[in-house]
Every structure is written in C-alpha cells, then in structure tokens.
Amino acid sequence: MAEKKFPTKIEETLEGSILFNVPFPTGDDLSSLKEMAPIIIKQPYSIEYIHSYGQDSPFFAGLANRRFLVTREPDTGYTYGTPRGHDMYTGKETEWVEIPCEGRLHAFTVCHFGSEEFLPECPYVLGLIEFEGVNTLFLARIVGLDPAEASEKWIGMKLKGRFRRWSKFKPTDVYFYPAE
C-alpha cells in the first residue's frame, strides 16, 4: 500500500488582512519589542448560528404576527413580561396570554456601544418597560427620544410598541416609542 502524501506547505492567497510596513527591529537586538505599539487590524466577522427558541417559540411567532405575548402562572396570576416556561416560585408551567403592546418606561440607559445589531445606531436608548397587570419588566429598544437629551423626566413616560414590518425572529422585532 502506497503511503499517502500530505502537503508540507500552505497555499498563499490574498484573502484576509494585509498589513504593510509593520515596524520591526533590524538585526539581533529585539529589546525594543517591549515598547512596540499594538498592531490593530479591522476585519469583518461573520458566523452562522443555528438556534432553537424552544419553549419561547410562541413569543417570536407572536411578534411576527404583531401580537405581544407574555406568560402567566395560571393559579397565582403572576405574569412575566419576558416570557418563561415555568413559574419561578411554584415551578408550574406557565400559560401564554396576549397583552396590549403599551406600557410605561420604568428605567432606561443610553448605550454608546452595542452588539452587531445596534452598532450602526449608537448611541441608542434601551428601556425597561412595565405593563399593567404584569409583574416583571421587559427590556426593549426605545426610539423617538434623543439620547443626548436623556432625562429622568422620561421615567413613567407612556410608550407604545411597534412591530417590525418584516420579522427577523429576534427580540428586536418589537420596539417602543413615546405615546404622547
């Protein structure tokens, strides 16, 4: 049986980052490398990720159909703004309920850096929204407010939800804006 040959050299391509004129000391004295400034490169990054929403699938199906769903423990009525499959106190399975996509701003933050989803829109406002009859808060993007004018006067502001026209099946499919 013939022995299989494996390449001993990696093929060179022009793909990826190419840097020119990278400073490096000449000769054998490498002591100046400790003072060398970091090399910084900018490159695109992309990954495909397969994810199952599992028990949260009805929430995302609701958003895609412009309906805001939350979960509730049937016996106690404890209601979660961010859906949960089981009640945190009793462990019992929750049920899905639809509520109006209207609430009040409970707290907010101005984000000056964000994930890939929001990076082009920095700065932006994220808010914790409280809904009538719901025991926990829901985190969502708030539009229609100037991040440079952030004010405690925003707390308690009435908000209305809006759904993306074309669902991406992400939490960002719903966002809120001032109702007044």
Confidence label for 42 from pLDDT (cuts 50, 70 and 90):
confident
Whole-angstrom Cα distance, residue 68 to residue 138? 11
- Predicted TM-score of the model (pTM): 0.72
Sketch the domain layout of the chain as residue ranges: 54-178
Whether the predicted pLDDT of 8 surpasses 70: no
Q: Three-class SS of residue 80?
A: strand
More confident residue, 38 or 59: 59
Confidence label for 141 from pLDDT (cuts 50, 70 and 90):
very high
* Token representation of residue 34: 């400790």
The percentage of residues in the chain with a pLDDT greater than 70, rounded to a whole number, is: 97
| Beta-carbon contacts of residue 56 (< 8 Å; ≥ 6 apart) | 83, 85
- Per-residue model confidence as pLDDT tens digits over 111-129: 998 877 777 888 999 999 9
